[in-house]
A and B are shown apart, each in its own frame.
Chain A
Amino acid sequence: MKIMLLAAAALVVQMFLFLCIGSIVMKIRGREEYSLSHAAWIGYFVYFGIFEVVCLICEVTLLPLRTLAVLMAVIAGGAILAGLFFGYRSWIQAMNSLRYRLKLHGGTVILMLLALAASCVFVLLYYDASADSGWYVGTASTALATNTIGRFDPSTGTRILRFKSRYALNCFPYHNAVISSLVKGLPVIVQARSVMSLINVIMSFISVYELGLVLFPDHEERGAKVRSIRNRPGSYSRKRADLFVVMVFAVNVLSSTIYMPGIFLFTRSYEGKSLIVNVAIPAALAVCAGLWREIREDPMRDLFWIMAASVCFSASSIMTLAVSLTALLPLIVIRGKWKQLPSLLCACLPVFVWAAVYYLIQHGVFVLRTWR
């Protein structure tokens, strides 16, 4: 019972942290009115982008996990305080307008929430003993037990003498170790397989919803007669986005092979690969669709954080890069928007840097030893 209460508290605190970070980002961008889910979604990517940098520095300098946990606690504490200070007015505003916004959604929001609830219940119940789960969760539990970062093989527990670029450069599993280190009494296996799984599924749904908002912008409905509150600005986009989320859920339920995104969403939601395909790729597609439709202001800033978080999640971050480049390069060429090319390259910088470091380590240009 105590573990379940701690898990619930960890879930709430982590979601609140993402909301606070997102609120700071919104404040920096000069936005006072925003949806809380959108802020938490942005905050999620920013958090993992920052975590990747801090964790990587601690890892290669052989600092103990506890030091990383303390550093992240300080950063998270600061972010929560700043988020509260900058965001509380916007949160109150968002809560006050909740009823109005729910009316804009109409009945389809119920279907979407049912799909989300079903997915959450499923990932909470599902468990297996797969080799990959052994690696992802084992990495976090090993780090916590040995108070080290990446210095022991998670599948056997034996020491490793040099960091392997394939695993050492993607720090997502250590987030779970950090949370368990800070929340005394919360086993890392519960944080990784239940708490983080739930957060990831929620973020996946928000990513798809954000994509839906861009795929079905309000201006498509221009000209429809204003008859009721349901036809007010924002209504069309929200309703279609809700329906789109339900359709993606249905397609995921009917993804019948072990390679498709659906299986990763429902059974491997605590793995970095799953976050690439179910959170980062739809988020990157939302940015790309926003650029194609010319309805988002400077979306490259979002793309930068999506890329940074992708690097943290998995070596498959290269797929997020590929999605962005294949979607945006033709746009730049066809519409002659050459000014966007430098900002696209800057947005993709985290993956480029990761790829360069990966290549150099793989080819022995430099060796990262696990001991001094």
Chain B
Amino acid sequence: MSEIIIRAIDLWKGYKVDGSVTPALRGTNLEIRRGEIVALFGKSGSGKSTLFNLIAGLDRPTKGRIEVDGQDLEGLGDRGRTNFRRLKLGFIFQFFNLLPTLTAFENVFLSLELANQPKPDLALKALKEVGLEGKEHRFPNELSGGEQQRVAIARAIVKRPSLILADEPTGNLDTLTGNHILELLTRRCHEDGTTLIMATHTRLTCRNATRVLRMVDGTISEETSNEELPH
């Protein structure tokens, strides 16, 4: 059995809306092992993005604890959490979230620079791997949606992180492009031994996962196989 890379224990998170607290997570527990490709399946508003933000250290839980690589995320402090995102975490968003003022190359290189590995050839190689050779100097608005998501994948994988969080990575793409993107992403994670957690509300995404977690109303209620998922 490989070691546990993420452990969430009794995780609670609430948001204040009109004066009252609405819980987004209600005592979530989670264990993910190194190299696993996990699909976090759930409807919109079930708490998937909240959980991702907590794992990434962008947000802090109301109650509970998250351990990454055996270390308490809260105990790392702001600097420690920033370093964790720089070195160990890759983030892929539904709306790509590329920096509009940077070219495809620069968006990828940014990730390397932050990880203190400013090697341009690595960025070029990553772009080539995602099939964007020749489009390195295009700005995001000069690329299609699929191409933008490929840049986002290159940005995430280029620094060889131990964990990639992909929040609805195909949610904004057509089925064919989505399939290509998923295949690319899972293949790269398999090859590098990177842990991948994908938040999704479609079955399609779950097909590529080795393990599927189901999220309902802020709790991971059951662990299910791909075949058991509703059509």
Say if A and B assemble together.
Answer: no
Interface residues of B (CB under 8 A from A): none
Interface residues of A (CB under 8 A from B): none
